[in-house]
């Protein structure tokens, strides 16, 4: 049995990060061993966490150090609809290296140039179902084809922004953005794990986001997913003249890889630190124009990093 022995943990269960530590503990104690696509995991199915974004709070996990700048750079890459990993590598971000290597692309039957990820997350956010140019990683740029909406696809994110800026439309229950496109899954280096999110405004100006994620790498991915969609909610709130309120994370398959079991046990008895605050120092006209320097994280304190290898 893997037990949380620290008395300080039980004294801090009001800290929202306890939901994550509880998830780790539940997987370790109650999970089932499964042999999957890329290794052996211990897994459960179905879990939910809620995090307040009020008063500029952002849930960046503290039980192990989270590389929040790397997370933010990836999010901004998604927002711009980019799919070329070389643009991340130029920023010293390497989380997509394993899934866009020559060996990996060949293994999933894709002849893309190394570094091209296919029509993944950001592409679907900004160009849903548009024809994909596997050479450039952008929409198909064929001069013989009229530049119409079908070619460019559906810009789901801009639609949400337009609604959020409109007092008559921001209360809509249809502010949904999906990365899961069955028509193009076979063209993606990796089908999306975080697949659909919904934005919701209550009380006139309080913006919340709910995410459903089909597959959760709890050791390495979950901390990024929580921070990423919290960043996105704060950004949309700032950009659209609203205030960030809450992030809700619905999870399907939650797993820990066998190689990560031992290092994750260390997490169980660590103390929490207060979540930091976020300041976005400007409002850009175009959502594509924000960069990492426009975000300030105030008061982030954490335990040491737990070193684990990402499994592609």
Tell me the catalytic residues. 193
175 contacts: CB under 8 Å, gap ≥ 6: 160, 163, 164, 198, 199, 200
What burial class does residue 312 get, using C-beta atoms within 10 Å of its C-beta: 0-12 exposed, 13-18 middle, 19+ buried?
A: middle
Region of residue 16 (left: phi > 0; alpha: psi -120 to 50; beta: else)? alpha
Paired with 207 in beta bridges are 201, 244
Say how far apart CA 154 and CA 141 lie, in whole Å: 16
Reduce the secondary structure of 101-132 to three states and give it as a string: CHHHHHHCCCCCCCCECCCCHHHHHHHECCCE
Q: Could you give the 3-state DSSP secondary structure of residue 94?
A: coil
In terms of Cβ atoms closer than 10 Å to its own Cβ (0-12, 13-18, 19+), residue 147 is: exposed
Beta bridge partners of 196: 178, 212
The Cα–Cα gap between 261 and 121 comes to: 29
Q: Are strands 206-217 and 243-257 parallel, antiparallel or unpaired?
A: parallel
Q: Which helix (H) or strand (E) holds 68?
A: helix 68-79
């Amino acid at each position: 049995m893997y037990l949380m022995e620290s008395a300080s943990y039980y004294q801090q269960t009001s800290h929202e990060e306890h939901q994550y530590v509880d998830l780790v503990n539940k997987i370790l104690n109650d999970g089932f061993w499964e042999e999957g696509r890329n290794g052996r995991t211990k897994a459960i199915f179905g879990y939910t966490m809620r995090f307040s974004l009020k008063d500029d709070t952002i849930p960046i996990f503290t039980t192990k150090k989270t590389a929040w700048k790397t997370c933010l750079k990836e999010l901004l890459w998604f927002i711009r609809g980019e799919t070329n990993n070389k643009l991340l590598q130029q920023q010293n971000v390497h989380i997509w290296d394993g899934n866009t290597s020559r060996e990996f692309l060949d293994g999933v039957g894709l002849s893309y140039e190394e570094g091209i990820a296919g029509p993944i997350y950001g592409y679907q956010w900004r160009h849903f179902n548009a024809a994909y140019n596997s050479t450039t990683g952008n929409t198909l740029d064929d001069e013989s084809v009229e530049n119409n909406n079908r070619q460019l696809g559906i810009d789901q994110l801009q639609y949400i922004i337009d609604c959020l800026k409109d007092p008559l439309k921001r209360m809509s229950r249809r502010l949904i953005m999906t990365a899961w496109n069955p028509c193009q899954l076979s063209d993606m280096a990796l089908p999306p794990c975080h697949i659909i999110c919904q934005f919701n405004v209550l009380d006139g100006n309080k913006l919340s986001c709910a995410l459903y994620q089909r597959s959760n790498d709890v050791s390495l991915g979950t901390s990024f997913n929580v921070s990423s969609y919290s960043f996105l909610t704060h950004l949309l709130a700032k950009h659209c003249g609203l205030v960030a309120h809450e992030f809700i994370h619905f999870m399907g398959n939650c797993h820990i890889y066998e190689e990560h079991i031992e290092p994750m046990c260390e997490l169980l008895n660590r103390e929490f630190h207060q979540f930091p605050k976020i300041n976005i120092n400007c409002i850009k006209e175009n959502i594509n124009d924000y960069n990492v320097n426009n975000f300030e994280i105030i008061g982030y304190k954490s335990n040491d990093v737990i070193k684990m290898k990402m499994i592609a």
